[in-house]
Chains A and B, each alone.
Chain A
Amino acid sequence: MSHRADRTLDVRSLARVEGEGAMHVRVRGDTVEDVRLDIYEPPRFFEALLRGRRHTEPPDITARICGICPVAYQMSACAAIEDACGVTVDPAVADLRRLLYCGEWIESHTLHIYLLHAPDFLGYPSALDMAKDRRDLVERGLAMKKAGNEILELLGGRAIHPINIRVGGFYRTPSRPELAPLRGKLRIALDQALDTVRWVAGFDFPDFHHDHELLALVSPGRYAIESGSIATTAGLTFAAQQFEDHIVEEQVPHSTALHARLAGSGRYAVGPAARYTLNRQWLSPLALEAADAAGLGADCRNPYRSIVVRAVETVYALDEAIRLIDRYEPPARPFVEVPPREAVGYGATEAPRGILFHRYGLDADGLITSARIVPPTSQNQASIEDDLRRYVASRLDLDDEHLTWQCEQAIRNYDPCISCSTHFLDLTVERR
């Protein structure tokens, strides 16, 4: 253990986040002087790539931004293009999209809970070490994840970069007999998800709370996933079309990326905890019961307990997927035509990690003239930095190794999908 007054720690890469980026913490004496999350390369490449493409192409192209949440990119892209073209999809197609999205939530949340986050709470340096000791737990996680995977494969055509999704709907929709076998698998996974809630609720959580404004979609009557208006815990409500009026992106000196802030307010957080806080009353009875039993209250402001929210949302996604399958009637047509027009369209959906915003400008021939994508991780940057600043300040007595590990945990609370928003993540703790 070392407490020299002047020292620097370098961690080559931050493990167990999706992708890589950089985090720098500078401490002088007992003061945390600087905390920086460096984002090198937001999806500006894809925004540039989309310009000049046809209005039918964004779902396929943007799905490549992230292997973990391709459906989120496809759904936000479809919503924005359909908004521009003034098209509404059939209700049965909207239900299938919601079912597809449930599959992605199940996959993404289970991956994060079991392979990326749980090892932190159980004292394992990695999922591999956890698997050596607790193969049963990892197997349970993989089985749940596979259930979500099967939804994606059935509806999306394949699990990564689904190819069956198009603007206006699907290329092909399944029959009832094709969907039916999924139900039994999802029912088994639902029991495993309930066990998961009980398991993670028993973890030891640091006594740490934040006061970030929380922002999520709300869709009165049901838990928001693929549609809704945007709401904040301060009582603000606005449509996706007004996203850029309320969310401003600022250049900060230490990063080439823009930091998102609420206009007239400041930092905010998106993701499972925000969704839960703003949508709790619309959880299914089973998911609500699980949340209550896990000790989640009316809101969730301890970022470490986000793992419990993810587990509850996994229960919800499985419960909702079963409900959608039970009531499924194949749509009369798999898609509606989306004739182009000169317009600007906006779309926002709830990616597993939080709101994903897309905006496209189209010309009369349907060629894309402008594109803007705001992923959830870049919206959470300021909140992650604030958490880290306060968390580190109260734990300066820790040695560098433990402090670094706890910094990594604080970052993983947000399940940052940095492949969406950056390239490499190095962690530096510098003490002076």
Chain B
Amino acid sequence: MNPHHAGPRVVIGVGNDYRRDDGLGPLVVAALAGRQADDPRLSGVDLRVSDGEPTRLIDLWTGTDLAIVIDAVLDDNHHAGHRHELALDALDRLADDHSAGSHAISLGSTVALGQALGRLPRRLIVLAVSGTEFGFGQGLTPPVAAAVPAVIERACELVAEP
């Protein structure tokens, strides 16, 4: 465990790597897992992948001190590849229409459900990237792929914060 950090921390990559830009979350988590042994900031961090099914997401972050959710979003207001960082109090911006992929209930609704059940992490931060392609297929679109290194670095910074 990171010596500066008190409680459990989890990074959850939401998505499906056979649905183009929806594969962002799993790809970032795989990259974090690849560097976990060498980067002390990631020591003790639970790295998980989720398809976004709400009860599994809630289970993954219940009891954690910090949960970082990585997801791709549909977003008409920003260019593809635009990075968003949303804290818990701003998650109502994740309206239903912005959910991507094949999730039955949006991330915003999942957070609201977790709130109603008293099962939210102490801190919840969503690192999202605006995507364009969510149909069947492999590989991120170039703008989303270009955002990946910055998302990885930001996740590392956040888990290392005291």
> A residues within 8 Å of B by Cβ?
12-13, 16-20, 41, 45-46, 49, 64-65, 67-68, 111, 115-116, 126-128, 131-132, 135, 138-139, 142, 145-146, 149, 159-161, 419, 423
Contact = CB atoms under 8 A, between A and B. Distances in A.
Given A13-B96, A64-B17, A160-B51, A149 B59 contact: yes
Nearest to A160: B51
- A-B pairs, 10 with minimum CB distance: A67-B51, A45-B136, A419-B102, A131-B116, A19-B102, A64-B18, A18-B104, A128-B113, A132-B116, A160-B51
Contacts of A12: 97
A41 B102 CA distance: 13
Contact of B58 (A13, A18, A142): A142
B125 interface: no
A138 B58 CA distance: 13
Interface of B: 16-18, 49-56, 58-59, 96-97, 102, 104-105, 109, 112-113, 116-118, 135-137
B16 A64 contact: yes
Contacts of A41: 135-136
Contacts, number: 74
Given A68-B53, A135-B116, A423 B16 contact: no
A81 B52 CA distance: 30
21 contacts: A12-B97, A16-B104, A17-B104, A18-B102, A19-B104, A46-B136, A64-B16, A65-B18, A67-B16, A116-B104, A128-B113, A128-B116, A131-B113, A131-B117, A138-B116, A142-B55, A149-B59, A161-B49, A161-B51, A419-B102, A423-B102
Contacts of B59: 142, 146, 149
A135 B102 CA distance: 26
B131 to A, nearest CB: 15
Secondary structure dominating the interface of A: helix
A264 to B, nearest CB: 33
Contacts of A131: 113, 116-117
A142 B118 CA distance: 13
Nearest to A64: B18
B109 A126 contact: yes
B75 to A, nearest CB: 16
B116 A111 contact: no
B102 A20 contact: yes
Contacts of A16: 104-105
A162 B117 CA distance: 28
Contact of A423 (B51, B116, B135): B135
A45 B137 contact: yes
Contact of A67 (B53, B109, B135, B136): B53
Contacts of A20: 102
Contacts of B104: 16-19, 116, 419
Contacts of B97: 12
B132 to A, nearest CB: 15
Given A64-B18, A128-B116, A111 B53 contact: yes
Contacts of B113: 127-128, 131, 138
